[in-house]
Amino acid sequence: MYNKQNKENKTKEIFERVVLNVQAIVDSGEYKKFLKFQKNFRGYSFNNLVLIFSQFPDATRVAGKAKWLKLKREIINDAKKIFIIAPLHRKYNKKVIDIVDGEEVETTKTIEYNAYRYVYVYDISQTLGEPIPMQTTRLDTNNMNEFYEKLKRFSKFPVYEKELNGTVQGYYSPKENEIVIKKSLSIDDKASVLLHELAHGLYDNFDYKTDRNLSEVFVESIAYIVADNFNLDTSLCSFNYITKWAKGDPKIVIDLGTKIQKCAYQFIQELENFEV
């Protein structure tokens, strides 16, 4: 039976749990580790990624007991349960009054909504049985020059290498619709900066004048996830704004995390499928 109050309380409880875990991840300085962690879980929501990481930060592949049994793997004794949230599609019929040709007409309207429940999953390290092939689509980590050239060809904007003054490593110019990279940088650093600027150009829709902190956290997080997927050492990636970001509106934290995850995975998929 539909109970609106119970549904709202459950949703609020889940949301507050996720927010607390996000705060703990950022405040503890483990944000970079979390970004690296989440690339292994493309099928999970940002909220569930936070829950998994907070309970089992060394997890690499998780599934429910039934799924592991199908893969011919059994859960070990005393395995740690990792709880996540699963949406349950629900609907109910409600009588409503509509105005038809000036007359009140009683009709039945179907209300659809998602309820949530906790379910348990286990990491592959907590199972024994048949080996599971781990898929990988990473590039050759010994040749970042080829990766950098691929990024330039992949770019939707012209990429120029120029002499830039001071500490500026590169920039994306919406006005000129171009990306400029500091010419004197190493190949790996050029690739790192190009990933960052591509994230600005492809996914960043923040107002840079008013939301610079959010914009930088957003694109640096995307760049870090994508670079790690291709085994690129993004030593130029900094997270100077993370603490400030974490102390903001919790809804912004969750929304931004979901947006980072979605855009980073899209970026990775497009790069993996792009033929030079």
Closest by CA position to 261, among listed 217, 215, 222, 212: 222
- pLDDT on residue 135: 46
Top CATH class, 144-273 = alpha beta
Quick check: 33 pLDDT over 90? no
CB 276 within 8 A of CB 141: no
Write down the residue that tokens 């690499």 correspond to: 60
pLDDT category of residue 2 using cuts at 50, 70 and 90: very low
Q: Is 266 helix (H, G, I), strand (E, B) or coil?
A: helix
- pLDDT on residue 238: 56
**Residue 127 region, left (φ>0) first, then alpha (ψ -120 to 50), else beta?**
beta
> pLDDT higher for 12 or 223?
223
The whole-number average pLDDT for the span 133-139 is 44
Give 139-148 pLDDT, tens digit per residue.
333 458 889 9
Give 147-197 pLDDT, tens digit per residue.
999 999 999 999 999 999 888 899 999 999 999 999 988 888 899 899 999
- pLDDT on residue 243: 56
Pairing of strands 159-162, 178-182: parallel
Dist. CA 32–CA 239, nearest whole Å: 8
Q: Which residues contact 177 (CB under 8 A, 6 or more apart)?
A: 157, 158
- pLDDT on residue 8: 56
Quick check: 80 pLDDT over 50? yes
The whole-number average pLDDT for the span 50-74 is 92
- pLDDT on residue 154: 95
The pLDDT > 70 percentage for the chain reads 83
- pLDDT on residue 88: 76
Q: What residues does each domain of the chain span?
A: 4-129, 144-273
Dihedral of CA 211/256/203/180: which sign?
positive
Dist. CA 268–CA 265, nearest whole Å: 5
The whole-number average pLDDT for the span 76-94 is 85
pLDDT category of residue 127 using cuts at 50, 70 and 90: very high
Quick check: 134 pLDDT over 80? no
